[in-house]
Amino acid sequence: MKNPSSTLRGADIITRTLDRAGLRTVFTLSGNHIMPVFDAAIGTGLDLVHVRHEAAAVFMADAYGRLTRRPGIAMVTGGPGHTNAVSALYTALAAESPLILLSGHVGRDEVGRGAFQELRQADFAAPVTKASWTAESVATLGHDLAKAARIATSGRPGPVHISLPFDLLEEEIANSADLWPDAEAFATVPMPLSDVAADATHAVLAAAQRPVILVGPTLCDAPGKALQQKLSELTRAPVVGMENPRGLNDATNGAFAEMLPRADLVVLLGRPHDFAIKFGKPPFVDAGAKFVVIDPDVALIERAVREQGERVVLTAVADSVSAAQTLIARAPKNPNRSAAWRDEVTAAIDHQPPAWAKTQSPAAGPLHPLDLSRAVAPVIDGNPDAILICEGGEIGQWPQAFIRPRRRVVNGAAGPIGGAIPFAIAARVVEPEAPIVVMMGDGAFGFHVAEFETAVRRNLPFVVVLGNDAAWNAERQIQIREYGKDRALGCELTPARYDQVVQALGGHGELVTTPDQLGPALQRALASGKPACLNVMIERVPAPTIRRGT
């Protein structure tokens, strides 16, 4: 029986604090250490989306955070539940996604005594989070949540972890006003770019002939793309988003890799100086190019200075969104630059090889991945609220090269595979009406196929267009490229009937073996109102590497 309102358990404080803050969707998998929170959720406005694997809960919270810019909430049990969940935190960290992972934990009086599923959980999660700690007092549990939300959304967004000792969840305390953080305690702390730094940045931009502004994942969502476009219009400099693990080979950015070596100024606006730009070394970046580094993380600014030395002509501490807004507000009314360079870079990014127009699947199949993208593009283009989700591996690069959605979720700079189905479930929680289409391969499909049962149970429809080449094709392509076709080993899969698996779980499934079947099957899947899988047999081809003249 629940305690009277004058007395609360720690679990009640957790659920009511989340409810008061409007963080009501909790992606979770039950377990011993968090059952008090499940009980305390009864009678609140919380919606517990009960999943089939702890990593899936984190992937869902990740996608929720990316699509809303509000902290996604994942909750798992301690020990192995926690370790399962932590693996997905790295994806959220690299994708700059705000989320909070709440993990059950052994009671405080059992620590160090060999308790059931005892683990140094905060230490375990620390390398893949912005902050990680174990709650210490029932009286401060609500304030722990507020602190986590503030950290997750401030500066460079990212995941935060809190372990919740079982005895704190069960401990009772008198209800009082000081248990409850106010709304301001949850609020994002802005890190604005100073007017002086903004004006200095514009001065450096004005002095350059061929500048590029590179932005990271925080500015690659729908509102971020609007800021990118406005900043580019006002500065007449190309603004390029980078959120893909393939860096300069990101299919989204077309032939941009050919343009970067010509730049004489690289502005890193929340885009870390890292592998994605080949560490800024020739021939990928000209040896004479200068750098401006604007970042919320002082350590990343210091790393860029350490790597580039005197080539870094200006640095500033600011978060990406605030910095972009200030640069827009302070932009000169008449930039001293023609739009020719920007337009040339834009054309390179938009470039699609002429050979693609001639690439057709055989009438009898299997299909080329381009045909999957051609079928999906009208669905995404036809609705501005549609969400495209692209898995990792070779297959996910084709839609990123071919389709230009307003809203999308990709596997992110960490380069994982397997998160796409959980991403889709969270996307449907966020977006109740518009089409949600996932494009992924058969290898990644196996990671979280059981979450189709979650989607069916919760009536959260989406369509997976599954490119099935019966292989771990990304790895197979590496083997062929590096060692020769006769040394490809261990990457074979079976042409399994994943559509029948989805049907068995209560969803809609169809097998597609020829090009003429794909369009009608896609329309039936969308109309089914169910979580759906089109199991499309495709050719084994590498991801596109786009170069002009090819």
* Predicted pLDDT of residue 5: 65
The helix-helix angle for 451-458 and 420-430 (nearest 10°) equals 20
Residues 400 and 500 in one domain: yes
Residues 339 and 382 in one domain: no
Residues 407 and 439 in one domain: yes
Does 454 fall in a domain? yes
Last residue of a domain, one of 159, 186, 213: 186
Tokens of 381: 């283009």
Residues 74 and 176 in one domain: yes
Structure confidence by residue, pLDDT tens digits, 299-349: 999 999 999 999 999 999 999 999 999 999 999 988 888 999 999 999 999
Last residue of a domain, one of 186, 205, 238: 186
Does 436 fall in a domain? yes
* Predicted pLDDT of residue 115: 81
* Predicted pLDDT of residue 549: 60
Q: SS3 for 159?
A: strand
103 forms beta bridges with 76, 163
pTM (predicted TM-score): 0.96
Last residue of a domain, one of 292, 323, 350: 350
Structure confidence by residue, pLDDT tens digits, 104-132: 999 888 888 888 888 999 999 999 999 99
Domain that holds residue 469: 355-537
Q: In one letter, which amino acid is 175?
A: N
Does 463 fall in a domain? yes
Residues 210 and 114 in one domain: no
Residues 24 and 173 in one domain: yes
Block residue for tokens 């494009």: 439
Does 548 fall in a domain? no
* Predicted pLDDT of residue 374: 96
Residues 360 and 316 in one domain: no
Residues 432 and 376 in one domain: yes
**Which residues of the chain fall below pLDDT 70?**
1-5, 549-550
* Predicted pLDDT of residue 459: 98
CB 445 within 8 A of CB 419: no
Residues 83 and 204 in one domain: no
CA-based nearest residue to 99, from 121, 140, 67: 67
* Predicted pLDDT of residue 6: 87
* Predicted pLDDT of residue 545: 84
Tokens of 534: 């089109």
Does 2 fall in a domain? no
Block residue for tokens 């949540």: 145
What CATH number should be reported for the domain holding residue 31?
Answer: 3.40.50.970
Structure confidence by residue, pLDDT tens digits, 162-174: 999 999 999 999 9
Which residues make Cβ contacts (< 8 Å) with residue 334, sequence separation at least 6?
none
What CATH number should be reported for the domain holding residue 343?
Answer: 3.40.50.1220
Q: In one letter, which amino acid is 59?
A: F
Residues 399 and 321 in one domain: no
Number of domains composing the chain: 3
